[in-house]
Amino acid sequence: MIKPHGGDILKPLFVEDSEERNRLIEESASLPDLLLNSAAAANAVMLGAGYFSPLDGYMNLADTLSVAENMKTNNGLFWPVPCVNRTDDISRIEGSSVIALRDPNVTGNPVLAIQNIEAIETLDVEKINHITKQIFGTLDIDHPGVKTFKNSGKYLISGPIRVLNYSYFKSEFSDTFRTAMEIRNQIQKNNWKTVVAFQTRNPMHRAHEELCKIAKDAVNADGILIHMLLGKLKPGDIPADIRNAAIRKMVELYFPKNTVMVTGYGFDMLYAGPREALLHAIFRQNAGCTHLIVGRDHAGVGDYYGPFEAQTIFDNEMIESALEIDIFKADHTAYSKKLNKVVMLRDASDHTKDDFVMLSGTKVREMLAAGKDLPVEFARPEVAKILMSYYQQNKNS
């Protein structure tokens, strides 16, 4: 089986031993505490679930700068986006060596993890801007990832953590949330050798469905991992529970049985384009996948990145040597009226725009909100029905 990133074994930071975990939860009641922001909480969940293996916690300033500038930690580990814990208020934890990290996304703010503090460092505006520009390629505050990152806090709290739960993901998405180790174990149980991963933050339309099938056939894969982001998105994106229902219905009806695993992971979307695509590759390698589909404008937003920047970044020699997972580079896919099937645009050079059934996201939302059926060439009727119900309720609420 493909090795985890940066080593031979996966290193999830969740405390598996229940007695030890309960002891730490009891201890945490007497510790100085910090209410995390959502991004830091998502990082803790990913550390706990093994997706951030082999990291042992939150990065210090030196590693943060090194990752932002060179995509490597100071000890040479390839990593594309800093894993940080930032805040604007350290009054409750100053002088502490061990602190409890509280979950901002669960009622009552229960303790999510315990952190050993190695350093508390200050980020001035210049450094925040420098790191932001390196990760996102822009300082435009209208970019949702930039807005979140720039406003995450001026203090950087570094050190290893022990994770005590998986926030709301395990309870709200019990049928879908899976750790990297759970996915690895299931892949082995399925006896899959070659596995194609598909990243999604959206419902899957016909084009996405066929892209998964095209990639599976192209690499002769045993199975497909549909791996959806379950965390925070930008306003206007479809909530995870609706996406989950729509994707499961599509897989149930339109994929051969026992060829697809529908799973999800607890992370907030960064919209960091090429850098986030690299992070997605690490997640899937740690989960045991051999291939990741990287499509047009992967993990992008607006016009901040070129359509294929998230693919060409993998051509970097340092990145190629750091990752074992292979990338299936995909073009935009759409239904061809000429061929009566979904194709990748690069494979249809004799087509014009009018030969395809293509709808913008805005047009799709308008049609669903108005109760209009989407073309069957664009979306499976059973999927469209779930989405229409959501938009109708949303419109009337």
Q: What is the CATH number of the domain that holds 376?
A: 3.40.50.620
**pLDDT band for position 363 (cuts 50, 70, 90):** confident
In a domain, 381, yes or no: yes
The per-residue pLDDT for 98 is 98
Q: Are residues 326 and 204 in the same domain?
A: yes
Q: Are residues 294 and 248 in the same domain?
A: yes
Q: What is the mean pLDDT of residues 348-360?
A: 85
Q: Are residues 139 and 182 in the same domain?
A: no
The answer to whether residue 9 scores a pLDDT higher than 70 is yes
Check which CATH number belongs to the domain holding 28 and give it. Answer: 3.10.400.10
Is 201 marked active-site?
yes
Determine if the pTM surpasses 0.75.
yes
Q: What is the pLDDT of residues 271-293, one digit of tens each?
A: 999 999 999 999 999 999 999 99
Q: What is the pLDDT of residues 109-164, one digit of tens each?
A: 999 999 999 999 999 999 999 999 999 999 999 999 999 999 999 999 999 999 99
Total structural domains within the chain: 2
Q: Are residues 127 and 22 in the same domain?
A: yes
Name the DSSP class of 159. E
Q: Are residues 230 and 97 in the same domain?
A: no
Q: Are residues 114 and 235 in the same domain?
A: no
Between CA 45 and CA 50, with CA 47 as vertex, the angle to 5 degrees is: 105
Q: Which of 202, 248, 365, 394 is catalytic?
A: 202
In a domain, 5, yes or no: no
The answer to whether residue 361 scores a pLDDT higher than 80 is no
- CB-count exposure of residue 4 (10 Å: 0-12, 13-18, 19+): buried
Residue 337 belongs to domain spanning: 175-265+271-396
Q: Which of 201, 206, 284, 380 is catalytic?
A: 201
Q: Are residues 362 and 244 in the same domain?
A: yes
In a domain, 13, yes or no: no
The per-residue pLDDT for 330 is 92
The per-residue pLDDT for 397 is 54
In a domain, 10, yes or no: no
Least confident of 72-76, 308-312, 371-375: 371-375
Q: Are residues 297 and 161 in the same domain?
A: no
In a domain, 328, yes or no: yes
Residue 137 CB partners (closer than 8 Å, separation 6+): 273, 274, 304, 305
Residue 258 region, left (φ>0) first, then alpha (ψ -120 to 50), else beta? Answer: left
Q: Are residues 88 and 205 in the same domain?
A: no
Q: What is the pLDDT of residues 52-65, one digit of tens each?
A: 999 999 999 999 99
**pLDDT band for position 393 (cuts 50, 70, 90):** confident
Q: Are residues 226 and 116 in the same domain?
A: no
In a domain, 180, yes or no: yes
In a domain, 8, yes or no: no
Mean pLDDT for the chain?
94
Instruction: Starting at the earlier edge strand, list the strands of the sheet with 341-344.
Output: 341-344, 333-336, 356-357
In a domain, 191, yes or no: yes
Q: Are residues 79 and 227 in the same domain?
A: no
The helix or strand, by DSSP H or E, that contains position 122, with its residue range, turns out to be strand 119-122
Q: Are residues 251 and 377 in the same domain?
A: yes
